Amino acid sequence: MYYQIKNTLTECSAEDIGNRKVPYVANISLEEFESKKDLFDMGIDLDLEAESDDITEIQVNYDSLTGSFAIPDCTSIESPPHTFLFAIDERGIVILDDDGTAQKILDNIQASKRWKYPSLERFLYDFLEGILSGDLLMLERYEKEMDQMEDRILSGNLDKVMERLVDIRSELLDLRAHYEQLIDLGQELEENENAFFSSKNLRFFRLFIERTERLQSNVTALREHTMQIRDLYHSQLEVKQNRNMSFLTIIATIFVPLTLITGWYGMNFTHMPELDSPYAYPIVGGVCLLIIVISLIVLKKKKWF
C-alpha cells in the first residue's frame, strides 16, 4: 500500500510517491522492495536477511535512517514479537512488513487521524503512538491480576502463585527492554542528525519519548509490586508453616504424658496393684482423658491455638 501524507493518510499509486512536495508512506513486502527499491531512491541496500534479533533499533546512515521494530504481542508477551523493517529519508518512510502488523496501525491512522498541519514528523508520531496503543490497558491488567494475587495470598490460597509471579516478572522485564529500545529510537529521531525533519516538529518525538518513559516507569513500579507480593507470599508461607508446627507441638504435648502412662503399664512386673482391681483399667482411662482435658485447657489459656 502507498500513501501520501496530506490532511489524512491518503492512498495513492506507486508513481505518486515521486512527488517531492508531499511526503509519502509505503508499506510493502520484502520481496516487493527488492523489485522497486530504485523507486524510493534512498541510496541504501537493506540487509533483508537480518531482520534484527527481535529488537527495536535505528541506524543513522548518510542519506537515510534504517532499522527495525519488534512489537510484543499484548495478549502474550512471551510469544515472538511482531517484527518489520523500515527506512526513512526527508521525503517519506518505507515499511517492510510481511505479517500485517504495520498495516493495522496504518489502517487505524487512516480511519481516525486528521491533520491540520500534515508532515512526516506528525505521521511518525502517530505511527509510534500506534505501536504503544493498548499498552496502558495491558499494564492495568497486570496490576489487577497482582491485586487479585495479593487477595488470594491473604486468604491462604498459595497454589501456583509463585509460578505465575515468576512469569509476570519475566514478561515485565521484556516490556522494560522494549520501552528502552523505543526511547533510544525516539532519541535518535529527535537528534535529527541528517536534518531530515523540521526543527519545529521535533517536539513530536519528545512527546513520544516522554510517553514511553511513563510506561517504562509503570513497568518499574509493577516489578517492585511483584517483589512486595513475593515477600507477602513468603510471610504467609511462614505463618502457615508455624501453624502446622504449632499443631504438631500441641499433639506432642498431649501425647507425651499418655505415652509415659502406656510405657509404664507396658512393663512386665508381677506385682502391680492395679492389675488386681476391676476398676483399674477404667480409672487409668479416666486419668488419661483428664490429662488430655487439662492439657487443652492450659494450652488454650496460653493461646497456643
Pairing outcome for strands 65-71 and 57-60: antiparallel
Predicted pLDDT at 231: 85
Q: 10 Å Cβ neighbour count for 73?
A: 12
Reported as a single tens digit per residue, the pLDDT across 78-111 is 888 888 888 888 888 888 888 888 889 999 999 9
Predicted pLDDT at 54: 79
pLDDT band, residue 272 (cuts 50/70/90):
low
pLDDT at 44 exceeding the cut of 90 = no
Q: How many angstroms separate the CA atoms of 103 and 125, rounded?
A: 16
Per residue, the 3-state secondary structure of the chain, as one string, reads CEEEECCCEEEECCHHHHCCCCCEEEEECHHHHHHHHHHHCCCCCCCCCCCCCCCCEEEECCCCEEEEEEECECCECCCCCEEEEEEEECCEEEEECCCCHHHHHHHHHHHHCCCCCCCHHHHHHHHHHHHHCCHHHHHHHHHHHHHHHHHHHHCCCCCCHHHHHHHHHHHHHHHHHHHHHHHHHHHHHHHCCCCCCCHHHCHHHHHHHHHHHHHHHHHHHHHHHHHHHHHHHHHHHHHHHHHHHHHHHHHHHHHHHHHHHHHHHCCCCCCCHHHHCCCHHHHHHHHHHHHHHHHHHHHHHCCCC
Q: How many angstroms separate the CA atoms of 58 and 189, rounded?
A: 9
Predicted pLDDT at 51: 47
Report residue 69 as a C-alpha cell.
521494530
Predicted pLDDT at 59: 87
pLDDT band, residue 53 (cuts 50/70/90):
low
pLDDT at 254 exceeding the cut of 80 = no
pLDDT at 176 exceeding the cut of 80 = yes
Predicted pLDDT at 47: 54
Please report the domains of the chain, with CATH numbers, ordered by start residue.
1-131 (3.30.460), 245-301 (1.20.58.340)
Reported as a single tens digit per residue, the pLDDT across 184-225 is 999 999 998 888 888 999 999 999 999 999 999 999 999 999
Predicted pLDDT at 221: 93
pLDDT at 257 exceeding the cut of 70 = yes
Report residue 239 as a C-alpha cell.
505463618
Q: Give mean pLDDT, residues 224-245.
A: 79
Predicted pLDDT at 48: 47
Predicted pLDDT at 104: 92
Single-letter amino acid code for the residue at 76:
S
Average pLDDT, the chain: 82
Predicted pLDDT at 52: 47
